[in-house]
Amino acid sequence: MLGKIVVVGASSAGCTLALAAQAAGHDVTLVDEHPQAMKDMSFDAPWFYGAALPSALLNENSIAQAVLEGSPTLMECLESGVDLRVSTVLWGAFRDGPNCVNVGRPKVGLVTREGNEMLEHDTLIIATGVRDFVPSFKGWDLPGVFGGKAGIALLDLYQVYEGRRTVVLGTSDLAMRFIRSARARGVEIVAVLEVGDEVEAGPEAAAWLAGEGIPVHLAHVIQEARGKTAVAGATCISLENGATFAVACDTIAVAIATLPNIELPAAMGCRMRYEPAVASWVPEVDALGTTSLENVFWVEDEGRAEGLLALIGGQDHVADVPSRATLRRNALDYIKAWVAALHQTGQDDVVLCQCETVSRGAFCGMTPPTYLESRLRHEQTPVTQGENLKAPRINQDFLKRMTRVSMGHCQGKRCRDEAAVTLSIRFGVDLQAIRPASYRFPLRPIDLGVIADDDESDEIRLNWQMWPYETRQD
């Protein structure tokens, strides 16, 4: 059953699916949080913008026009009659289940500047794209440090990028996209640092970088971002001999990798599995993208949307989707190499969790928050010593409660992934054996008063005190 369709995420895949569903005669709503309000961007979700957001973002009308004009597929959705909801935060999704018996028709919670709406639907398609992966280093909290995806958004989507001299971390495909966009807008790339001994994006990318005269430093990482109130330079260190050099810059683009945006399916309770090819937990899906929840679909990217497009188009047979191993390189190995190198060349006192100011050493040592003014009586390890080999070796939620890492206002969007990789490296536990930190609604920091203003139905008002039990009236 497709019925009323809500597509979450105006990614390339999301727009393609929304257009196909509209053409097939379905009632379609496409929801996307961009263009974001400046205060929402400050939470670094879904992309890591850092602490130096350009003031031009305050001109909401200009930004909205720039986003629509720079997104042809989004304009096509609008012109084709798709119910397009931009600048709209989907903060939750609700359906009948073990703990919810009075929801009725599935609903999603949408918040805009006008207020909250609970939108009913029959089919939910999640095409939320990716988020930045930004590991910690000394000074990474300075204004001027941002993720590669955020940098591309500021350059191409919002068109407000202010950096003039940029250091780039990584030579991945993401880094190359950022570098090309930055160069096209006159930004000087003063250094590219690569943890490996060759350009990750391949020989063609290496040849282009050399032809452009962009300095690439292989087997190097950043040791420190320097500056008092904003980035003014970077200290770079060789992994081979420990030699350092300084470079003057006003921005640092951390373009190592992106990870799938899994908040919504994880919080809804979709069955998940760990996928090393994308260095992340992802929903278990079939060739159609069907998750473990009825009429909920997950589409990672446009290359994996063929099955669902066939279903929307009324086709009976769906071709097999190529495995991720044939579609991309293994992202986990690259991410682990960067985290290991940054921890090797940095110190344990480097802040891992910006929101709660928790260092790497305090996290791995399970040190209680400083405001408790107390320490553990005995040294502890996060690794479970139980005999059940199928049980998780490390529970990230337990570490979160002990140290408050991932418990801040960003809801773990800055640090949860590095925290998991750090545990894997330092304690020799596969990431598949680490139970990830949980996601909860609301998925974005929002004013709860906006949700409270939404009036409930008479049935809910009558039965709320009996949830989750059935209410019977004689």
Q: Which of 202-211, 303-312, 342-351 has the lowest mean pLDDT?
A: 303-312
Q: What is the percent of the chain where pLDDT is above 90?
A: 67
Task: Please indicate, yes or no, if residue 474 is contained in any of the structural domains.
Answer: no
Please check whether residues 351 and 414 belong to one and the same domain: yes
Report if residue 382 sits inside a domain: yes
Q: Are residues 95 and 202 in the same domain?
A: no
Specify whether 45 is located in the same domain as 122. yes
Q: In what order do the strands lie in the sheet with 251-254?
A: 145-147, 251-254, 165-169, 188-194, 216-218
DSSP labels, 296-336: EEE--SGGG-HHHHHHHTT-S--PPPPPHHHHS--HHHHHH
Q: What is the structure's pLDDT at 372?
A: 73
Residue 319's pLDDT band (boundaries 50, 70, 90)? low
Q: Residue 192: phi, psi to the nearest 5?
A: -120, 125
For strand 394-395 and strand 358-359, is the pairing parallel, antiparallel, or unpaired?
unpaired
- Predicted confidence at residue 316, as pLDDT, reads 59
Give the CATH number for residue 426: 1.10.10
* Residue 334 belongs to a domain: no
Top mean-pLDDT range of 68-77, 288-297, 390-399, 462-471: 288-297
pLDDT digits (tens, 9 = 90+) for 110-169: 999 888 999 999 999 999 999 999 999 999 999 999 999 999 999 999 999 999 999 999
Angle at 269 between CA 301 and CA 443, to 5 degrees: 70
Return the C-alpha torsion angle 135, 141, 147, 153, nearest 10: 160
Confidence of residue 472 (pLDDT cuts 50, 70, 90): very low
Q: What is the mean pLDDT of residues 426-441?
A: 92
Which of 218, 255, 147, 222 lies closest to 210 in space, CA to CA?
218
Q: How far apart are the first and last CA of the chain?
A: 35
Q: Is the peptide bond before 445 cis (omega within 30 degrees of 0)?
A: no
Question: In this structure, are 25 and 47 located in the same domain?
Answer: yes
Q: Is residue 463 part of a domain?
A: no
Distance CA 292, CA 283 (A): 8
Question: What whole-number distance in Å separates Cα of residue 5 and Cα of residue 29?
Answer: 6
* Peptide bond connecting 46 to the previous residue in cis, omega within 30 degrees of 0: yes
Averaged over 65-91, what is the pLDDT? 91
Tell me what pLDDT residue 332 has: 95
Residues 13 and 112 in one domain: yes
Judge whether 449 lies within some domain.
no
Which residues, at least 6 apart from 233, have a Cβ–Cβ distance to it below 8 Å? 225, 226, 227, 246, 247, 248, 249
Q: How many CB atoms lie within 10 A of CB 263?
A: 22
Q: If we measure between CA atoms, which residue out of 289, 281, 284 comes closest to residue 332?
A: 281
Q: What's the rounded mean pLDDT across residues 426-435?
A: 93
**Which DSSP helix (H) or strand (E) runs through 23?**
helix 12-23
Sign of CA dihedral 426, 428, 429, 431: positive
Residues 6+ apart with CB under 8 A from 435: 392, 394, 395, 396, 397
pLDDT tier, 315 (very low <50, low <70, confident <90, very high otherwise): confident
Angle at 1 between CA 122 and CA 93, to 5 degrees: 25
Q: Could you tell me if 127 and 43 lie in one domain? A: yes
Handedness of CA 429, 432, 435, 440 (dihedral sign): positive
Give me the pLDDT at residue 379, please.
73
If asked whether residues 242 and 285 sit together in one domain, one would say: no
What is the pLDDT at residue 99?
75
Residue 389 has pLDDT above 80, yes or no: no
Is 455 a domain residue? no
Give the per-residue pLDDT at 452.
Answer: 75
In terms of pTM, does the model score above 0.85?
yes
- Which among 87, 109, 102 has a CA at the least distance from the CA of 33? 87
- Domain end: 225, 255, 285, which one? 255
Q: What is the DSSP string of 54-100?
A: -GGGG-HHHHHHHHHHT-HHHHHHHHHT-EEE-S-EEEEEE--BTTB
Which residue, of 227, 255, 283, is where some domain finishes? 255
Tell whether the model's pLDDT for residue 106 goes beyond 90. yes
Of the three residues 202, 232, 255, the one that is the final residue of a domain is: 255
| Coil/strand/helix, residue 416 | helix
Q: What is the mean pLDDT of residues 349-368?
A: 93
Answer whether residue 290 is part of any domain: yes
Cis peptide before 442 (omega within 30 of 0): yes
CA-to-CA dists, residue 14 to 74, 301, 414, angstroms: 10, 8, 25
Dist. CA 220–CA 225, nearest whole Å? 14
Q: Which has the closest alpha carbon to 416: 333, 354, 371? A: 354
Q: According to the model, what pLDDT value does residue 68 have? A: 83
User: Residue 465's pLDDT is what?
Assistant: 61
pLDDT of residue 356: 92
Quick one: pLDDT band at residue 268, thresholds 50, 70, 90? very high
Mean pLDDT of 38-62: 90
Q: What is the mean pLDDT of the chain?
A: 89
Does 472 map to a domain?
no
Q: CB neighbours of 110 closer than 8 A, spacing ≥ 6?
A: 31, 85, 88, 89, 90, 91, 116, 117, 118, 119
Is 192 or 398 the better-scoring residue by pLDDT?
192
228 and 279 assigned to the same domain: no
- Other C-beta atoms lying within 10 Å of the C-beta of residue 357: 14
Q: Which domain holds residue 236?
A: 136-255
CA proximity to 170, closest of 119, 125, 209? 209
Give the Cα separation of 193 and 102 in Å (integer). 54
Predicted local distance difference test score (pLDDT) of residue 409: 83
* H or E element at residue 19: helix 12-23
In the predicted structure, residue 473 carries a pLDDT above the cut 50: no
Same domain, 232 and 274: no
| Distance of alpha carbon 235 from the chain centroid | 27
Closest CA to 144 of 166, 123, 160, 159: 166
CATH number of 171's domain: 3.50.50.60
In this structure, are 247 and 289 located in the same domain?
no
Question: What does the pLDDT read at residue 317?
Answer: 58
In whole angstroms, give the CA distance from residue 111 to residue 194.
40
Q: Is the pLDDT of residue 371 over 80?
A: no
pLDDT, tens digit, 9 for 90 and up, residues 181-235 = 999 999 999 999 999 999 999 999 999 999 999 999 999 999 999 999 999 999 9
Residue (of 430, 363, 417) closest to 147 by Cα position: 417
Number of domains comprising the chain:
3
The confidence band for 323, taking pLDDT boundaries of 50, 70 and 90, is: very low
Q: Are residues 439 and 298 in the same domain?
A: no
169 lies in the same domain as 101: no
Distinct helix (H) and strand (E) counts, the chain: 16, 24
